[in-house]
Amino acid sequence: MQIQGRNAMVTGASSGLGSACVQRLLERGVRVVGLDLAPPRADLPWLGSEAYTHILTNVVEADSVQSAVQKAVEGLGRIDIAVCCAGVLHGERVVGREGPANLDAFRRVLDINVCGTFNVVRCVAAAMMKNTISDSDAEGDGAERGVIIMTSSIAAYDGQIGQAAYSASKGAVAAMTLPMAREFGQHGIRVVSVAPGVFETPMMQAASEKVRQPLLAQSVFPKRFGFPSEFADFVEQIIKNPMLNGSTLRLDGALHM
Ligand SMILES: NC(=O)c1ccc[n+]([C@@H]2O[C@H](COP(=O)([O-])OP(=O)(O)OC[C@H]3O[C@@H](n4cnc5c(N)ncnc54)[C@H](O)[C@@H]3O)[C@@H](O)[C@H]2O)c1
């Protein structure tokens, strides 16, 4: 899909990977609707830009997402690209010093990372299915109506002690990628997930040095954490390349935790 002139929805837009995608898409001439529980940081350069709209949204709530998608379609006419970055990290042993893990905490991680992502995809895909096909879309790639990018994690495959909830949630995102791509293929909508390694975002910056140092030590090359702009590079490639579909792609500098 050619990027310029498109309309995108990005969840988790107020921070980290989502924010980097907003920036990249705006730089490429895309109009962006950002969804997040939190307002955007006041120092973000695109605040006030006509090309950016922020809608305070809780991705786990059906009405909240449905209404945000409706507003986006009313405002922009259509949504071509969706990037789902809203998510939370959680670490807790299944059985800790105090006994069995907190079941509510497990449910919350699944709710935000899995149900929240599913909620956004179901609403945005329904909107994309109504997109009309322009001549340029019908030409090379054949009737492309949209591309949906979800965020899994290498924890889906290499989960560490304490990551049962997070790994389960990111494994679920990876697992729903292919059935979604198969279902939406007939509508010309692709679905791809990215499984990032460790990226320098507020989520990871909040981790203690005890967590960060071993991860850095296990990095192969480059021997550092990823930059959010490198995640945005990958998202841009996924949007552009029509052969990327139905897979969860690692972006991890060969880090295997
Ligand atoms: N940073 C990493 O190293 C890394 C690695 C692998 C996967 N990921 C995944 O990438 C995604 C983005 O992570 P990040 O590092 O940018 O984190 P982040 O904490 O910097 O940003 C996450 C954003 O999601 C928003 N959010 C959380 N719950 C929400 C909800 N219910 N509704 C709407 N918005 C909500 C937060 O307000 C925040 O702005 C997450 O899904 C995360 O699990 C991150």
List, in order of start, the domains of the chain with CATH numbers: 7-251 (3.40.50.720)
Taking CA atoms, 94 is separated from 80, 100, 211, 242, in Å, by 40, 6, 18, 41
First to last CA, the chain: 34
Beta strands in 51-127 (DSSP E): 52-56, 81-84, 95-96, 99-100
* Under 8 Å between Cβ of 198 and 156: no
Contact 112, 89 (CB under 8 A): no
Q: How far is the CA of 119 from the centre of ligand 1 (A)?
A: 16
The single-letter code of the amino acid at 238 is I
According to the model, what pLDDT value does residue 51 have? 97
User: How remote is the CA of residue 85 from the centroid of ligand 1, in Å?
Assistant: 6
Is any ligand 1 atom within 6 A of the Cβ of residue 40? no
Would you give the DSSP letter of residue 98? T
- DSSP helix/strand/coil, 136: helix
For ligand 1, atom 40, name the residue with the nearest CA.
Answer: 87
Q: Is 17 in the pocket of ligand 1 (CB under 6 A)?
A: yes
Q: Which atom of ligand 1 is nearest to the CA of 116?
A: 31
Q: Which residues of the chain have pLDDT under 70?
A: 135-142
pLDDT for the residue numbered 137: 65
Single out the residue of 13, 108, 112, 10 nearest to residue 58, CA to CA.
112
- pLDDT of res. 240: 97
Atom of ligand 1 nearest to the CA of 202: 20
Pocket lining: 219 vs ligand 1, CB cutoff 6 Å = no
Per-residue pLDDT reduced to its tens digit, 105-122: 999 999 999 999 999 999
Tokens (6 digits) for 186: 């007939």
Ligand 1 centroid distance, CA of 28 (Å): 23
pLDDT digits over 35-57, tens only?
999 999 888 888 889 999 999 99
Q: What is the pLDDT of residue 141?
A: 59
- 209 token code pair: 């040095």
